Structure 1
């Protein structure tokens, strides 16, 4: 995006977490590349995709991270969460155990991320409603109790996949915008490297910066 008036850019790090084989990688590939691989193997190595969208005339980029198979060993590291301002917490609606694990994943988020992180509970594989093991009502109740957004998705047929990611990204942007407004009118948002800074107008003194987030590559 050009640096014309109102052309600021923002980069948000979003993580996808949840038990193995709930469809995290397929959700990401469906959103980022509109692809679905029914026999995909567990992710090995760090994987992330960067997607762009426009909000209020500004380019907003989301760097979306997949757990890279670490969840199989219960060894998702603090580095994975570092700088994240959004999280999709995914379970498989046909496998009760993956829903029962949501509390553990939320505990990890509380341990490794800021309390202001935007969280969405995602019930994946909604195309398999005929063998559903977790009801919509139960998931909604958990989401309300834990302060999460909630959506059911299907990476197979694309249902709600884009909506889930974009809802999280828009909420992050809204939170950041409110933070800018609430700081006072003398602050503006700037992207410096991989970090979004709230910089006091007319001041270059780093001590005047308020750091909103840092998205590590």
Structure 2
């Protein structure tokens, strides 16, 4: 079966749950405790869409401000972007606009865009918190930038799988069966996870 490689980058502020969203999808397990991502980590997941095998290269990126210049290095060659915020934090939602603006400045080619509101398991907090983000506000913003909108709970593994599966479907519709490979060499040491097994590639640069 023909394999098509596509690059997906996951963006958002520190603490919104980017790693916690990726892990249950790729490794079918939830990490109770995660440490902040430094630079970026690469996860690889294969799935079938319309009788084609798609290899998603999912880049988990750092949300801390001090790593923004490093994260921008991962934008090149992006086919899809998932921008995550915390539904109980208005500040993380407002930052989505900054991530999108930066992404579109660097990536000029067509891409699949997806905005994700995480931590819906904290609905009580969302109702009581002044800074909560309404579903309508998030949906209308996503629509205004041509993005899909999803809500999920990484902790409860609720609504996570459909995000990546729909992104894969969007990639298939946008790019068809063009087998152009988007695997690029980044001058950074990354943690590569393939179907739950991690290896350290031989690479020069910053150790992550």
Q: TM-score range by the shorter chain?
A: 0.7 to 0.9
Aligned residues: CA RMSD:
1.7
The alignment partner of 2:117 has SS state of strand
- How far, CA to CA, are the matches of 2:172 and 2:139 in structure 1? 24
Q: Cα 1:105–1:47, aligned 2, differ >3 Å: closer, same or farther? A: same
| Corresponding residue number in structure 1 for 2:194 | none
| TM-score normalised by structure 1 residue count | 0.77
Confirm or deny: 8 A CA contact 1:67 1:76 kept in the other structure.
no
Superposed CA deviations along residues 63-89 of structure 1, whole A, max 9, x for unmatched, are 000114555543344321111100100
The alignment partner of 1:87 has SS state of strand
Please list, as runs of the form range in 1=range in 2, the aligned pairs for 1:1-217 lying within 5 A after superposition: 7-68=1-62, 71-132=65-126, 133-177=132-176, 189-191=178-180, 195=181, 214-217=182-185
The alignment partner of 1:75 has SS state of helix
Q: Aligned residue pairs: how many?
A: 180
Aligned-residue offset at 1:59: 0.7
Q: Cα 1:38–1:53, aligned 2, differ >3 Å: closer, same or farther? A: same
| TM-score normalised by structure 2 residue count | 0.81
Superposed CA deviations along residues 24-58 of structure 1, whole A, max 9, x for unmatched, are 01111111112222331101353111101111211
Q: Cα 1:76–1:126, aligned 2, differ >3 Å: closer, same or farther? A: farther
- How far, CA to CA, are the matches of 1:86 and 1:33 in structure 2? 20
Higher alpha-carbon Rg: 1
Aligned-residue offset at 1:117: 1.1
The alignment partner of 1:11 has SS state of strand
Unaligned runs of 5+ in 1: 1-6, 181-188, 196-213
* Bigger strand fraction: 1
